Structure 1
Amino acid sequence: MSNVALGRRTRLGYSLGSFVTGAFGTVPGLLLLPYLTDTMAVPAAAAGAIVLLPKAWDVLFNPVAGRISDAGLARRGSRRRSLLLGGLALAVCFAALFAHPGFGSPATDAAYVVAVFFACATAFAFFQVPFNALPAELTAGYHERTRLTTWRIAVLALAILVSGAGAPAIVSALGGVPGYRVMGVFVGVLIVAGTIGVYLGLRRAPAGRLLQPTPTWRALLATMRRWRSFRWLLAVYFVQALGVATLLAGVSYVARYVLGDADLQALLFAGFVGPALLVMPLWDRIGRTGGKLTGFRVASAVFGAALVGLLFAQVLPLAAVFCFVAAAGVGYAGIQVFPLAILPDLITAEEERTGATRAGVTAGVWTAAETLGLALGPGLFGLVLGAGGYVSSAGGRLVAQPDSAVTAITVGFSALPAVLILLGIPLLRRSVLDGERKAEVVGS
């Protein structure tokens, strides 16, 4: 590992893995809740719990996957095998998730979804944990890590755009159970493509120092207790992941019941993610000139302010709604880039201090927090729907909703995620900045 700039092949190869993380991180958040409430007739609050339950397992399992990944790195000198096996298994499980076996009752169909979602979450852990660990090992360059992350998030934006806009469009075009089945296969193919892309793209990538994993869990827990910079950054990332997941869970409902046109779902998603493809050079420049932490704060403020504007989506002209959605997308791009650019800096500084591998297990803890946030978001939105009196249905039929349900949809889509995103600003404590400065010295 060196401070030398990575080649485009390596940056692109690594970034292609975002098709896996983008598809699995986005589509269940968008469609799993309406799949349960409007196709299987599962009550909203119960559907929210179903979305959460398999992810709760992932929170416990991800640190274990990180430890397994570190051990595999020590044995084989590479994390690529785990990426390949985890990604391919995820693709198969994802297609099965939306296959809708039709056992004859909402309870048994929902139980099937829970079981397959457990398998998806486990397979995803074996992909995402090493994927998040790699930036700390591909380069020691402080600013090169920001550049690598902007490439990753740019491809992530493209992946989210393709999967997040394409998956609802397929469901809408084919309708009901057939639409969800075809959509599941479509997203599975995207996951396979991203998996093979990152596996082949990193074939000649530089490798980090092969440090030995920390021998005991007690030693790892001791590290986490004293590693304040990581804990605060993790807290911000978790809270904001929760906000993003709550927002995404509401897109389908906002299009149908607030804006009155289900076909707007794909356009809303494209309007949110599209700007990220354009503003990555801007966030890279801000990170280089003003610092990564400053860029993180600015992005959070932009995102939160735009979400506050969307609180008035019921009365705003459609063009104004899309302007706020685009502004939210600009902020979203920044809150994805900066924490992922700071994380490898903190890992490097901690590995210098301890002399032991931290990348895999740290990525496992990080992924666990992200997973929990993304899982709690739809569950939280489901609770808001239930409190507003949302009426579930079967077969994908639209039913009249009370005014309280429409208000709940609007608040769950805008005000609630705005609070969570803006909460990240005061949580960005000086301890994170101190850790970043130490890492900049190490990487310079």
Structure 2
Amino acid sequence: MSYEMIALLMFASMVILLVSGQRVFAAIGFVAAGAALLLYGPGAADLPFNQVFKLFNWYAMLTLPMFIYMGYILSESGIAEDLYKMLHVWFGRLRGGLAIGTIFLMVIISAMNGLSVAGMAIGATIALPEMLRRGYDKVLISGVIQGGSSLGILIPPSVVMVLYGMIARQPVSKLWFAGLIPGLLMAGLFVLYVVIRARLNPKLAPTVADEELNMPLGEKLKLARAGIVPFAIFFFMTGLFVFGYTSLVESSAVGASAATLAAILKGRFTWRLVRETSMKTLAVSCMFLWLILAALAFGAVFDGLGAVKAIESVFIHQWDLNPWTIIIMMQVSFIIMGMFLDDTAMLVIVAPLYIPLVKLLDLGFDNQLIWFGVLYTITCQIAYITPPFGYNLFLMRSLAPKEITLIDIYKSIWPFALIMMLTIALVMIFPGLALWLPEQMRVKG
């Protein structure tokens, strides 16, 4: 059997296992281990051990549990809820103000956690009931929460970018800086969409009654102090990192410690909080470690077969495709796969093929893998909210009240998916949106 056929069988076997509902890391790891043993014999048993040592020698991996812990403790201790109350007071008088405040909340939660799940849970449990009670359109609400929560994997600290950086061998700090401007741009486009919709149809987003917003100045200042805590933690953590006082790992430890201290000072640091936060942090961290390990093993076998060289030969030499045509084909394939697979499965499936190919293309600028990481991450956001199997769609259905149906949820996401596609197009046309900030930053470690 030819090496090309073996590579095709590996790829097909992995896809079949993923579609059948197997756990992502188990499906990928099983195919990698099985192919290695069949091709190289018992000596291939060393392959996963080599990948383990490679994984554990990567210092940036220590940031994963730190940032995940920080996000969960701010969420579970109610500090994020205080932040929403503050935004509610600030934006309540604007047409669509609560929806705009919710998007800002999602941006801040994204900057503290790096996971879509945390933003979705906070938005659905805190913001959604408040907006429904005030007469907001349920389709608009659903779209705002799903679109806003997806920002968690683009705005730093992004856990998905840690995964991409590990597989693509790129600095996580540069990836995070690269995602910041596109992430804020996308959030701004979300806000602009809400403002325009609310202007065109005021019934979709009524203003909050003055009686609810009229409160003594002392109470407003107290609420502002409570809401400022997450801002202070984020800017303190990132400020030390940006100005070179701490490395990436040290900065994550600062963030985790500051979040713990905030919970203690607010009198919300309990044994139950520690237990729940630790269990969730451990579960998510282990999941990502297993995924990266499986991806490294699969990539080692796949690359050893010469599959990357075969793809390069077909696209560049035989078909003579323009580099930008290849990039567009990659993005289209991401969007199609995103309708059926989650972000980590998408990355592991295509990383052994796409990442080496992007490195070879002549696009006319440096840091192409950093730039491509931003494109991949934005496409992951589309994957989270597109039918039929978008992860956030089903999470939203499980968290939303009965009056928000699955049809409402499906209808709500299309404007936000189109805005994400527009952001992808802008980053492709203007690569500087992703590359300017990493080139300006000089960070420790």
TM-score, with length taken from structure 1: 0.31
Q: Which has the higher contact order (CA 8 A, sep 6+)?
A: 1
TM-score, with length taken from structure 2: 0.31
